[in-house]
Amino acid sequence: MLTTLCALIPSFFVNLLLGAYADQLGRRIIFIVPLAGGMARVAIVCAVAYWDLSTNFILLGYILAGLTGDLIAFVMVVYVYTADNTTQGKNRSFLMVVATAVNFIFYNMSQFASGYFIESAGYAWPMITGLGFMVLSFILVVFFLRETLDKSKVQKASLFAGVKGIFSFYFDKPLNPIYKRKDFILLGLVFFIYASAMSSSISTIFLMNEPFCWGSKQIGYVTSAFGLSHAVLSTLVMRLLQYAFSDEVLVIFSLLSCASGRFAFAFANADWQIYIAYTTGALEVSVLAVIRAILSRMVPKEKRGSLFASFSVMETATLAASGAGLNELYSHTVGEWRGLTFFVIGCVTCVSAALMIVYKIMISLRTPPQVRVTVDGPDQERSDINSAGSIQSQDGGEPA
């Protein structure tokens, strides 16, 4: 928990700064900054493991990572870059889910492999190997990643104006006349409420306690296996469901999948029920990715960095606050009902799903006239509005 706070507290303010300048400095620099901080953190952990230094130095590494935005900033720019390089509509939302799934796959594979690596070679060499991969990623970004933001068309703004711009979507009239301010507010609430419930790390403690009494190896095997299967399954199911449903409906399905998994955890008393809980929550991977895809089509390219930064700030705040709160709830209720925290998470996720249903109904009831709207931006994305209020991309005719 201490290492998490050392990273999250500074990253909250840094992500505000990165968000303020994400649409001015370009995408590549936002990739470089968190990668540099990540390399510094891993390098310090390598030094601690190799020379048997005090573990207090590890906190310094997490502080440095936080001062460069940490993983949340990197995830933010990955989504922005994906949106910049895709057409609006289902193609973009699918590729954002793919990006999330790839992250899940590599994370779970690294967690699974590092356990064997540590057993055979100690702690130092796995960390050194990880540092090598991060250095390679840094080199690829610096020398080969194409910049997607045309800086010549970007208006320079002060720091105050940039920070204000991060939250302007929820207070000012939208630039795109198709959408309304309440659209941003509703989707922001869906994101915030869901993110506040997903940040808890109590499942490990839950599985180690009675009646399951799982060991660390079994927990590692099961969570890694289901993490990989969730990434693959959510991607495949997402693609299939897109043929029949809109992105908004897919978010609702994914939220209900997440809630059902949490409720199954809350009432689980045997191992097979844990497996059912993991299985029913398989679609959770796609929730945040599709929400970001929906939002990305509501603003021009030169505003996406600021928009996604607002969600990164929300993620940072919820990870720091709700994670501690849910862990505290679990510690005080484990004696009476060990699954109460999961039940609360499930209920909170249902609230998020209910708000998404409200949003879907709200946009379905809109009946704008047949108009053509051009969203100003370097990519000049054009959209047609049909009488049902859905948006169709010119290039493929897919509803956005």
pLDDT in tens, 341-362: 999 999 999 999 999 999 999 9
Q: pTM for the complete prediction?
A: 0.84
pLDDT score at 248: 95
Beta-carbon-side half-sphere exposure of residue 57 (alpha carbons within 13 Å): 15
Of 279-293, 319-333, 363-377, give the range with the top mean pLDDT. Answer: 279-293
pLDDT score at 163: 82
pLDDT at 371 over 60: no
pLDDT at 376 over 50: no
Confidence grade of residue 368 (pLDDT, cut at 50, 70, 90): low
Segment 125-152, tens digit of pLDDT: 888 888 999 999 999 999 999 988 877 7
d(CA 332, CA 340): 10
Lowest mean pLDDT among 24-38, 69-83, 216-230, 380-394: 380-394
Segment 196-208, tens digit of pLDDT: 887 557 888 899 8
The mean pLDDT value of the chain amounts to: 84
pLDDT at 370 over 60: no
pLDDT score at 366: 79
Confidence grade of residue 395 (pLDDT, cut at 50, 70, 90): very low
- The answer to whether the beta carbons of residues 8 and 63 sit under 8 Å apart is no
pLDDT score at 276: 96
**Domains of the chain as residue ranges with CATH:** 2-145+159-363 (1.20.1250.20)
For residue 356, the Cα-to-chain-centroid distance in whole angstroms is: 17
pLDDT at 390 over 50: no
**If you search the block for the tokens 């009675």, which residue do you land on?**
210
pLDDT score at 324: 75
Question: pLDDT above 90 covers what percent of the chain?
Answer: 44
Confidence grade of residue 251 (pLDDT, cut at 50, 70, 90): very high
Q: Give the pair of three-digit tokens for residue 398.
A: 């897919």
pLDDT at 178 over 60: yes
pLDDT score at 199: 57
pLDDT score at 1: 65
pLDDT score at 258: 95
pLDDT at 318 over 90: no
Lowest mean pLDDT among 7-16, 31-40, 274-283: 7-16
Secondary structure (H, E, C), the chain: CHHHHHHHHHHHHHHHHHHHHHHHHCHHHHHHHHHHHHHHHHHHHHHHHHHCCCCHHHHHHHHHHHCCCHHHHHHHHHHHHHHHCCCCCHHHHHHHHHHHHHHHHHHHHHHHHHHHHHHHHCCHHHHHHHHHHHHHHHHHHHHHCCCCCCHHHCCCCCHHHHHHHHHHHHCCCCCCCCCCHHHHHHHHHHHHHHHHHHCCCCHHHHHHCCCCCCCHHHHHHHHHHHHHHHHHHHHHHHHHHCCCCCHHHHHHHHHHHHHHHHHHHHCCCCHHHHHHHHHHCHHHHHHHHHHHHHHHCCCCHHHHHHHHHHHHHHHHHHHHHHHHHHHHHHHHHCCCCCCHHHHHHHHHHHHHHHHHHHHHHHHHCCCCCCEEEECCCCCCCEEEECCCCCEEECCCCCEC
pLDDT score at 23: 83
